[in-house]
């Protein structure tokens, strides 16, 4: 049986530059089934879901629901649930956690501040604290968005959990169904596609040591998609694996061509040319959708610059 995932894999569609974009992730535990738009079609109060969507709009915060791998019984509204917030911008990366029996409390957060990397309202409103456990491994399993996420994501999440990997969660939507199983790792915000258990364990070990595994990486959610592709290209060219060593400081141009400037904490910088192309031959972007040509980010050139070349004239 052909699926969007099998078509994408067969055509060797590139992964770089395909991650969802978010500077800050806000994750709310919600057991039970999820619909295609989980915030308003789950056992979470749909009015609360709509209010959360409105509160996060334009702030750089992306909200998703999470649940533990396994059976998805709903424990009821009084159940204590986990809430996480993670900011992914280099130089200000953090992951805080809290628990609450009243998810409506989340509406009291300052979403603009969260998007800018300030965790104070999360800590004040929810009695949050820095997360001291392992990195979060979030596997998309929402079959109502695409059947591949359920068919491929759920077994991966279950395998990781049963093999002793801590802090594994199912998550509602990470985009890119055709790259299932898809994975997001927090706090750094790197996303992966076509994930396999052994590779995920390597990724998580790297994150725990402050390193990025480039193989299978879709990009860092902090950046827009041209920046995601550019940063990964610089990592490959420079052999750089330190998670917070690189920052996308400038993206100039518009589709279908951008010039992206990437800097290193040691002062080096690169100019990367990224071009938007169409994936051919046509393939489904998700199961059941018509054939199309999804946009792809192709790195045309990577050039290291001198600081003099980068300087802006007075």
In the predicted structure, residue 185 carries a pLDDT above the cut 70:
yes
pLDDT band at 314 (very low <50, low <70, confident <90, very high): very low
Mean pLDDT of 193-198: 94
pLDDT band at 222 (very low <50, low <70, confident <90, very high): very high
In the predicted structure, residue 313 carries a pLDDT above the cut 60:
no
Runs of H (alpha helix) within the chain: 4-10, 46-56, 111-115, 120-126, 147-148, 154-162, 197-208, 225-238, 307-310
pLDDT band at 202 (very low <50, low <70, confident <90, very high): very high
Q: What is the pLDDT of residue 72?
A: 61
pLDDT band at 31 (very low <50, low <70, confident <90, very high): very high
Instruction: State the first-to-last Cα distance of the chain, in angstroms, to the nearest integer.
Output: 62
Q: Write b or e for each residue in 56-74: b if 16 or more Cβ atoms lie within 10 A of its Cβ, otherwise e.
A: beebbbbbbbbbebeebee
In the predicted structure, residue 49 carries a pLDDT above the cut 50:
yes
Q: What is the pLDDT of residue 89?
A: 98
In the predicted structure, residue 105 carries a pLDDT above the cut 80:
yes
pLDDT band at 8 (very low <50, low <70, confident <90, very high): confident
The rounded distance, in Å, linking the Cα atoms of 299 and 17 is 10
In the predicted structure, residue 311 carries a pLDDT above the cut 60:
no
Evaluate if pTM is beyond 0.85: yes
Q: What is the pLDDT of residue 74?
A: 60
Q: Write b or e for each residue in 121-132: b if 16 or more Cβ atoms lie within 10 A of its Cβ, otherwise e.
A: bbeebbebeebe
In the predicted structure, residue 21 carries a pLDDT above the cut 70:
yes
pLDDT mean across residues, the chain:
92
Mean pLDDT of 223-249: 97
pLDDT band at 144 (very low <50, low <70, confident <90, very high): confident
The rounded distance, in Å, linking the Cα atoms of 108 and 295 is 37
The partner residues of 276 in beta bridges, in order of sequence, read 297
Q: What is the pLDDT of residue 77?
A: 55
The rounded distance, in Å, linking the Cα atoms of 125 and 105 is 7
In the predicted structure, residue 150 carries a pLDDT above the cut 90:
no
46-55, 74-83, 263-272, range with the lowest pLDDT: 74-83
Q: Which residue has the higher pLDDT, 307 or 51?
A: 51
Mean pLDDT of 112-116: 98
């Amino acid at each position: 049986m052909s699926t969007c995932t099998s078509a994408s894999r067969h055509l060797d569609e590139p992964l770089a530059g395909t991650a969802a974009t978010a500077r800050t992730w806000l994750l709310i535990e919600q057991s039970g089934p999820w619909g295609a738009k989980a915030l308003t079609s789950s056992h979470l109060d749909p009015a609360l879901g709509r209010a959360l969507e409105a509160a996060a709009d334009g702030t750089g915060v992306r909200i998703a629901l999470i649940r533990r791998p396994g059976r998805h019984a709903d424990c009821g509204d009084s159940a204590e649930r986990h809430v996480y917030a993670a900011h992914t911008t280099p130089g200000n990366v953090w992951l805080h956690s809290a628990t609450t029996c009243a998810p409506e409390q989340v509406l009291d957060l300052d979403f603009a501040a969260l998007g800018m990397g300030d965790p104070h309202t999360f800590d004040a409103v929810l009695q949050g604290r820095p997360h001291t456990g392992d990195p979060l491994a979030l596997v998309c399993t929402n079959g109502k968005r695409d059947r591949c996420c359920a068919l491929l994501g759920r077994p991966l999440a279950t395998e990781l959990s049963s093999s002793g990997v801590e802090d594994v969660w199912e998550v509602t939507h990470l985009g890119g169904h055709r790259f299932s199983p898809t994975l997001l790792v927090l706090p750094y915000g790197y996303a992966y596609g076509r994930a396999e258990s052994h590779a995920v364990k390597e990724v998580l070990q790297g994150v725990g040591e402050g390193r990025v595994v480039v193989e299978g990486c879709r990009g860092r959610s902090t950046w827009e998609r041209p920046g995601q592709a550019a940063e990964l290209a610089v990592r490959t060219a420079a052999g750089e694996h330190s998670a917070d060593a690189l920052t996308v400081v400038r993206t100039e141009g518009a589709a279908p061509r951008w010039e992206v400037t990437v800097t290193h904490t040691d002062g080096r910088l690169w100019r990367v040319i990224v071009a938007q192309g169409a994936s051919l031959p046509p393939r489904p972007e998700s199961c059941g959708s018509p054939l199309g040509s999804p946009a792809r980010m192709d790195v045309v050139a990577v050039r290291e610059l001198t600081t003099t070349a980068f300087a802006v004239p007075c």
